[in-house]
């Protein structure tokens, strides 16, 4: 606990100090008679300007008429508050600074432009700057209406890479607004760290009202109350006033200003607009900074749901979150939990399988987390058994012993995400297994484990050992870097003969993957489609949109539309969706990702 307090106290940044200094003037009102304390004529500090249609917005500015109200402090993600589209590039030279206001003087070259936003470049693994094309409002609308719960782990990995790439801002949208939609979608995907990358790619004084709202959710998802401080003035002007007053109190406490902090807390409590429990969490943070005036006990008895505010404040102060609330938390919070290092290790391990299956954790990161948990004092028996089996999978004396250990891990969890997470954990061990090892007639889990980690070149070494029409053959037919010989309608028929999935969905996915990759000729595809009673050429508004994006050579837009077509569980994804996704990705130069998505579909149904 002492370490948590120390880390939170020392986490104060210059941005936090700046926010405290621009707290509303009411927080500094003197109760002494005139002539005592500060002179009466001292002008009150005013908030620093935020991007809006006017050069210097007044502190009482409100969102545009017709805009929906901003989300309350207890709201989860998904709000779509309209944002102003002011000139974000307007300079600040010659601007007068009120007494007591801290202003950063940066040379023009040090400020970040809104014309290109994102940390990843093509040299560092990102997509090209024109990946999303020139239809900014269109892209933002798709992001806003895409849920973060995707069927495909590889689809999420690709979408995350696309959203954090340094992309050019189309002329039809404010760069800060587009950044806000990118960060909001990443949060719904459970990618809290990536969302923070995008938020921090925009200078805080250039943030639009929409980005200010998303920034609040982003820093709560990262359990970083100090990160809110830079946005307090804009939040008080454009956002949920009471929520931002709580944030201003926290920022005052972080700078050692107990008076303004207590005043702000009292004003929020007297308003009656925010539950007392959420106020107590803010007071808990103040207590951790040393600015709190009384001890705070957090009791969850009357709390029925876990919101972003409650998650962020409780996690930041090491307040344990009860298991019943964890069981009903939104899916994306499991990703936030795993990525927050201050979270209790037991809760991180409980959320890790789902996060790994979704793509939040890589194979290496998942194994590292399990190893770190096993190294703590008195780890759980189940965790010890799991890490012991992993150790045997990687380092047992013989190949047979290593494969036996892998099989034990794959069959230990009847839950589908948990089973796939085990295949992710063993990916590197599976890739290192000698081909001469006795693994049975149809080692589809072994090959599926390799594909889960992206070891496709190791997987093709097993091609000579498998029989055409087996489940392993189907995985290799769509996942290998090069086409396999003998891929025809007859082979697909043999595969369908052993298909035990509901409605022969696995066989339909195999045909969709092969057709999308161009690994089966048109006549054979038509024959197999007729046998399986599936229409891969079905035309919808979505199919026309993704094909049009592929024709325009917009890989980012294709990745976004692919994610929109894979929402929910694999059992809900139509086979023709997989066909268009694989085909479009291949046409824009993302063939490797297309193959991994097709292979994953065969593993998980």
Residue 405 reports pLDDT greater than 80: yes
Strand partners, 567: 150
Pair 334, 415 in one domain: no
Q: Which residues of 389-421 are buried (b: 16+ CB within 10 A; e: fewer)?
A: bbebbbebeebeebbebbbebbeeeeeebebbb
Cα–Cα dist 235/400, whole Å: 60
257 — pLDDT class (breaks 50, 70, 90): confident
Pair 290, 348 in one domain: no
Q: Is residue 337 part of a domain?
A: yes
Pair 326, 233 in one domain: yes
115 — pLDDT class (breaks 50, 70, 90): very high
91 — pLDDT class (breaks 50, 70, 90): very low
Reported residue count of the chain is 605
Provide, rounded to the nearest whole percent, the portion of the chain with pLDDT above 90. 73
Q: Is residue 327 part of a domain?
A: yes
- Over range 358-381, report the average pLDDT: 95
Question: How distant, in Å, are the alpha carbons of 438, 440, 445, 459, 578 from that of 463?
Answer: 14, 14, 14, 8, 24
Pair 240, 335 in one domain: yes
Residue 101 reports pLDDT greater than 50: no
Pair 337, 361 in one domain: no
- Over range 388-407, report the average pLDDT: 97
pLDDT (tens digit per residue) in 273-305 = 899 999 999 999 988 877 666 668 899 999 999
Residue 36 reports pLDDT greater than 80: no
Q: Is residue 272 part of a domain?
A: yes
Q: Which residues of 219-257 are buried (b: 16+ CB within 10 A; e: fewer)?
A: bbbbbbbbbbbbbbbbbbbbbbbbbbbbbbbbbbbbbeb
Q: Two tokens at 228?
A: 């809110």
Tell me phi and psi for residue 30, to 5 degrees: -90, 140
Pair 236, 333 in one domain: yes
- Over range 357-373, report the average pLDDT: 96
Pair 180, 210: CB distance under 8 Å: yes
- Over range 441-467, report the average pLDDT: 96
Pair 334, 351: CB distance under 8 Å: yes
Whole-structure pTM value: 0.82
Average pLDDT over all residues of the chain? 85
Q: Is residue 44 part of a domain?
A: no
pLDDT for position 387: 96
Residue 265 reports pLDDT greater than 60: yes
pLDDT for position 242: 87
Cα–Cα dist 463/472, whole Å: 9
260 — pLDDT class (breaks 50, 70, 90): confident
Name the strand (E) or helix (H) holding 167.
strand 167-168
pLDDT (tens digit per residue) in 421-436 = 999 999 999 999 999 9
DSSP classification of residue 120? B
pLDDT for position 552: 97
411, 439, 467 - which closes a domain: 439
Q: Two tokens at 231?
A: 């946005």
Q: Is residue 5 part of a domain?
A: no
Write the CB contacts of 304 (distance below 8 Å, at least 6 apart in sequence). none
Q: Two tokens at 445?
A: 């889990």
Q: Two tokens at 192?
A: 């809290």
Cα–Cα dist 171/162, whole Å: 19
Residue 451 reports pLDDT greater than 70: yes
Q: In whole angstroms, what separates CA 540 from the centre of its chain?
A: 28
Cα–Cα dist 86/345, whole Å: 44
Residue 31 reports pLDDT greater than 70: no
Cα–Cα dist 184/215, whole Å: 9
Q: Is residue 108 part of a domain?
A: no
Cα–Cα dist 521/605, whole Å: 25
Decide the pairing of beta strands 167-168 and 116-117: antiparallel
What burial class does residue 69 get, using C-beta atoms within 10 Å of its C-beta: 0-12 exposed, 13-18 middle, 19+ buried? exposed
Residue with tokens 């005013």, as numbered in its chain: 46
Write the CB contacts of 497 (distance below 8 Å, at least 6 apart in sequence). 469
pLDDT (tens digit per residue) in 305-350 = 999 999 999 999 999 999 999 999 999 999 999 999 999 999 999 9
DSSP line for 445-486: HHHHHHHHTT-HHHHGGGGGGS-TTSHHHHHHHHHSSSPPTT
pLDDT for position 297: 85
Name the strand (E) or helix (H) holding 117.
strand 116-117
Pair 232, 338 in one domain: yes
Pair 335, 367 in one domain: no
Query: Which is higher by pLDDT, 353 or 8?
Result: 353
- Number of continuous H segments (helices) and E segments (strands) in the chain: 30, 2
Please choose, from the candidates 273, 214, 70, 274, the residue with its C-alpha nearest in 3D space to the C-alpha of residue 61.
Answer: 70
Pair 546, 581: CB distance under 8 Å: yes
Angle between helix axes 555-564 and 541-551 (nearest 10 degrees) is 160
pLDDT for position 512: 98
Residue 165 reports pLDDT greater than 60: yes
Cα–Cα dist 16/227, whole Å: 7
pLDDT for position 97: 42
Does the CA dihedral 251-253-258-261 come out positive or negative?
positive
Angle between helix axes 575-587 and 541-551 (nearest 10 degrees) is 10
Name the strand (E) or helix (H) holding 168.
strand 167-168
Q: Two tokens at 570?
A: 């694999």
Q: How many CB atoms lie within 10 A of CB 511?
A: 28
pLDDT (tens digit per residue) in 194-247 = 999 999 999 999 999 999 999 999 999 999 999 999 999 999 988 778 899 999
Q: Two tokens at 145?
A: 């209406």
Q: What is the dihedral of CA 192, 197, 201, 207, to 10 degrees?
A: 10
> Reduced to 3 states, what is the DSSP secondary structure of residue 116?
strand
104 — pLDDT class (breaks 50, 70, 90): low
Pair 119, 201: CB distance under 8 Å: yes
Q: Is residue 215 part of a domain?
A: no
Pair 361, 327 in one domain: no
pLDDT (tens digit per residue) in 510-519 = 999 999 999 9
Pair 330, 425 in one domain: no
Pair 283, 360 in one domain: no
pLDDT for position 258: 83
Full domain range(s) for residue 333: 224-342
pLDDT for position 412: 76
Cα–Cα dist 26/125, whole Å: 49
Cα–Cα dist 117/174, whole Å: 11
Residue with tokens 């595969």, as numbered in its chain: 495
> How many structural domains does the chain have?
2
342, 369, 384 - which closes a domain: 342
Pair 433, 399: CB distance under 8 Å: yes
Q: In whole angstroms, what separates CA 273 from the centre of its chain?
A: 30
Pair 405, 358 in one domain: yes
323, 342, 361 - which closes a domain: 342
pLDDT for position 286: 87
Q: Is residue 87 part of a domain?
A: no
Pair 173, 206: CB distance under 8 Å: no
pLDDT for position 294: 63
């Amino acid at each position: 606990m002492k370490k948590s307090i120390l880390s939170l106290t020392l986490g104060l940044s210059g941005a936090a100090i700046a926010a405290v200094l621009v707290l509303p003037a009411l927080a500094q009102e003197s109760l002494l008679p005139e002539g005592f304390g500060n002179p009466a004529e001292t002008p009150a500090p005013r908030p620093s300007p935020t991007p809006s249609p006017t050069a210097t917005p007044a502190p009482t500015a409100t969102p545009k008429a017709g805009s929906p109200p901003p989300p309350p402090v207890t709201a989860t993600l998904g709000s779509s508050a309209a944002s102003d589209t002011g000139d974000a590039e307007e300079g600040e030279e010659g601007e007068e600074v009120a007494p007591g206001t801290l202003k950063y003087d940066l040379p023009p070259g040090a400020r970040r432009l809104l014309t290109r936003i994102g940390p990843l470049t093509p040299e560092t693994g990102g997509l090209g700057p024109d990946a999303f094309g020139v239809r900014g409002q269109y892209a933002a609308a798709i992001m806003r209406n895409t849920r973060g719960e995707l069927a495909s782990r590889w689809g999420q990995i690709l979408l995350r890479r696309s959203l954090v790439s340094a992309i050019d801002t189309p002329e039809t949208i404010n760069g800060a607004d587009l950044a806000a939609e990118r960060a909001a979608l990443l949060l719904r995907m459970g990618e809290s760290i990536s969302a923070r990358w995008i938020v921090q790619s925009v200078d805080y004084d250039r943030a639009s009202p929409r980005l200010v709202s998303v920034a609040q959710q982003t820093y709560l998802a990262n359990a970083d109350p100090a990160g809110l401080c830079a946005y307090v003035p804009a939040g008080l002007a454009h956002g949920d006033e009471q929520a931002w007053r709580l944030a201003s109190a926290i920022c005052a406490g972080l700078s050692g200003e107990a008076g303004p902090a207590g005043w702000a807390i009292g004003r929020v409590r007297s308003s009656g607009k925010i539950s007392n429990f959420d106020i107590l969490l803010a007071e808990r943070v103040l207590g951790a900074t040393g600015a709190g005036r009384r001890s705070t006990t957090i009791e969850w008895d009357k709390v029925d749901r876990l919101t972003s505010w409650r998650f962020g404040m409780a996690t930041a102060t090491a307040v344990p979150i009860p298991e019943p609330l964890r069981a009903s938390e939104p899916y994306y919070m499991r990703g936030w939990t795993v990525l927050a290092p201050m979270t209790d290790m037991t809760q991180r391990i409980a959320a890790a399988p789902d996060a790994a299956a979704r793509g939040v954790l890589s194979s290496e990161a998942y194994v590292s987390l399990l190893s770190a948990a096993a190294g703590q004092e008195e780890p759980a028996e189940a965790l010890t058994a799991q890490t012991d089996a992993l150790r045997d999978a990687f380092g047992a004396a013989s190949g047979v012993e290593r494969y036996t250990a892998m099989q034990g891990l794959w069959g230990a969890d009847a839950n589908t995400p948990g089973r796939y997470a085990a295949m992710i954990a063993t990916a590197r061990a599976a890739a290192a297994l000698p081909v001469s090892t006795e693994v049975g007639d149809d080692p589809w889990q072994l090959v599926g484990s390799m594909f889960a980690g992206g070891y496709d070149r190791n997987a093709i070494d097993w091609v000579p050992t498998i029989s055409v029409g087996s489940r392993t053959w189907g995985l290799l037919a769509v996942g290998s870097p090069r086409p396999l010989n003998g891929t025809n309608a007859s082979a697909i028929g043999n595969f369908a003969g052993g298909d035990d999935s509901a409605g022969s969905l696995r066989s339909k996915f195999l045909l969709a993957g092969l057709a999308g990759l161009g690994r089966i000729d048109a006549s054979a595809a038509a024959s197999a489609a007729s046998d399986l009673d599936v229409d891969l050429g079905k035309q919808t508004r979505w199919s026309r949109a993704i094909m049009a994006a592929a024709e325009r050579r917009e890989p980012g837009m294709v990745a976004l539309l692919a994610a929109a077509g894979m929402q929910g569980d694999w059992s809900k994804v139509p086979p023709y969706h997989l066909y268009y996704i694989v085909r479009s990705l291949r046409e824009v130069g993302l063939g490797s990702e297309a193959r991994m998505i097709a292979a994953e579909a065969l593993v998980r149904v």
